[in-house]
C-alpha cells in the first residue's frame, strides 16, 4: 500500500494549486479533477486489492480475484471516459507530422477505455522489482508533462511534474533494497492516470512509445499465457517463449541481477521518452 505515500501529496498539492479554478468551476478546474479522480479511484481499487491480499495471508479472506477486479477497472474507466468525452469535449487524436488533430468521434470511447484499463494493468505487471515501475513511470509522466507544456496545457504539465516529484521521493525508499512497496494501490493508480494524461494531450498513440517498457512487459505475459495454452491444446506440449513472465523475471532467470534489470529498463525508458517527445514535436 506504499502508493498512498505519493497519491496523497499529489492530490493535496494539485487541489491546492488549483483551488481558485475549483471554486470558480472553471474549465481548468474541471479538467484537473479528471486525472485526480483517476489517481484516487484506481488507487482505492488497488488499496482494496492489497487489503484483500493481507487478509489472505492471514487466512481470513480469499483475496480479490482478477474476475472481480477487472469489471471494477472497466466501470471506473467508463466514468473517466464519460467525463473526458462529454464534459471536456475530448475525442481527437494527434498524429506525428500531421499539424491538426483528427476528430474520431465515438470511436474514441472504446479506444480510451482500452488505453486506461490496459495502462493500469501494464504498470501493475511491471511492478515486480525494486524501483522498476516507479522509475519508468517517472520518465513517462515527465515526457507527457513536457508535451502538455508545449501544447499550452500548463495545469496538466504542473500535475504531471507533481507526480514526478512525488515519485522521486517514493523511489528514494523504493530503490534496491526497497523499504517501501507501492503495491496495487500505487501501480493501478499510476497506470490509469498515465493513460488519462496521454488521452488529455491527444498524443495517446505515443503512449506505446513513451511507455514502451510497460508495453513489452504486458505483451510478454500475453505471449507466455497464449503460447502455453495453444501448445498444450494443439501440440500436447508446454511451449513458452520466456523462462518466466513478466519479462523482467525472464532476465532475472537468465542471470541478470535485480539492479541490472531495473537500470537497463530505466535506460530503455529514457530513450523511449526522448523518442516520444521528438515524435510529438514532429
21 found inside a domain: yes
37 found inside a domain: yes
**Concatenated DSSP letters for 123-141?**
HHHHTTSTTHHHHHHHHHH
Counting the structural domains of the chain, the total is: 1
* CB-CB contact of 46 with 70 (8 Å): no
> Region 14-18: what's the mean pLDDT?
93
Tell me what pLDDT residue 66 has: 76
- Please tell me whether residue 103 adopts helix, strand or coil conformation: strand
Kindly give the residue spans of alpha helices, DSSP state H, lying in 83-153: 108-126, 132-150
> Region 67-77: what's the mean pLDDT?
92
Residues 6+ apart with CB under 8 A from 263: none
> Region 77-95: what's the mean pLDDT?
96
pTM: 0.94
* Cα Rg of the chain (Å, integer): 19
230 found inside a domain: no
Q: Model confidence at 163, in pLDDT bands (50, 70, 90)? A: very high
Domain of residue 67 covers 4-204
Torsion of CA 55, 58, 60, 66, to 10 degrees: 40
- Using the predicted structure, report yes or no on whether residue 200 has a pLDDT greater than 80: yes
223 found inside a domain: no
227 found inside a domain: no
> Region 266-277: what's the mean pLDDT?
97
DSSP state of 107: G
155 found inside a domain: yes
Tell me what pLDDT residue 222 has: 96
pLDDT digits (tens, 9 = 90+) for 218-241: 999 999 999 999 999 888 888 999
250 found inside a domain: no
Q: Which of 266, 250, 247 is nearest to 176 (CA)?
A: 266
Amino acid at each position: 500500500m506504499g502508493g498512498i505515500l505519493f497519491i496523497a501529496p499529489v492530490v493535496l498539492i494539485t487541489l491546492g494549486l488549483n483551488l481558485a479554478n475549483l471554486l470558480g468551476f472553471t474549465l481548468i478546474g474541471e479538467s484537473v479533477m479528471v486525472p485526480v479522480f483517476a489517481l484516487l479511484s484506481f488507487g482505492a481499487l488497488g488499496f482494496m486489492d492489497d487489503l484483500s491480499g493481507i487478509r489472505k495471508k492471514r487466512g481470513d479472506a480469499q483475496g480479490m480475484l482478477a474476475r472481480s477486479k477487472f469489471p471494477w477497472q472497466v466501470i471506473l474507466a467508463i466514468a473517466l471516459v464519460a467525463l473526458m468525452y462529454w464534459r471536456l469535449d475530448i475525442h481527437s487524436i494527434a498524429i506525428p507530422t500531421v499539424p491538426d488533430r483528427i476528430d474520431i468521434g465515438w470511436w474514441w470511447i472504446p479506444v480510451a477505455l482500452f488505453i486506461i484499463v490496459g495502462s493500469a494493468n501494464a504498470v501493475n505487471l511491471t511492478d515486480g522489482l525494486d524501483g522498476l515501475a516507479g522509475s519508468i513511470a517517472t520518465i513517462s509522466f515527465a515526457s507527457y508533462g513536457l508535451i502538455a507544456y508545449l501544447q499550452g496545457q500548463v495545469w496538466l504539465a504542473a500535475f504531471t511534474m507533481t507526480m514526478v516529484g512525488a515519485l522521486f521521493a517514493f523511489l528514494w525508499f523504493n530503490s534496491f533494497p526497497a523499504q517501501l512497496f507501492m503495491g496495487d494501490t500505487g501501480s493501478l493508480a499510476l497506470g490509469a492516470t498515465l493513460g488519462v494524461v496521454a488521452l488529455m494531450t491527444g498524443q495517446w498513440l505515443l503512449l506505446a512509445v513513451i511507455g514502451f517498457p510497460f508495453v513489452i512487459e504486458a505483451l510478454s505475459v500475453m505471449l507466455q499465457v497464449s503460447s502455453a495454452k495453444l501448445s498444450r491444446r494443439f501440440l500436447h506440449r508446454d511451449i513458452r517463449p520466456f523462462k518466466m513472465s513478466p519479462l523482467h523475471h525472464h532476465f532475472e532467470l537468465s542471470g541478470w541481477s535485480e539492479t541490472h534489470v531495473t537500470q537497463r529498463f530505466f535506460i530503455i525508458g529514457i530513450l523511449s521518452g526522448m523518442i516520444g517527445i521528438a515524435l510529438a514535436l514532429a
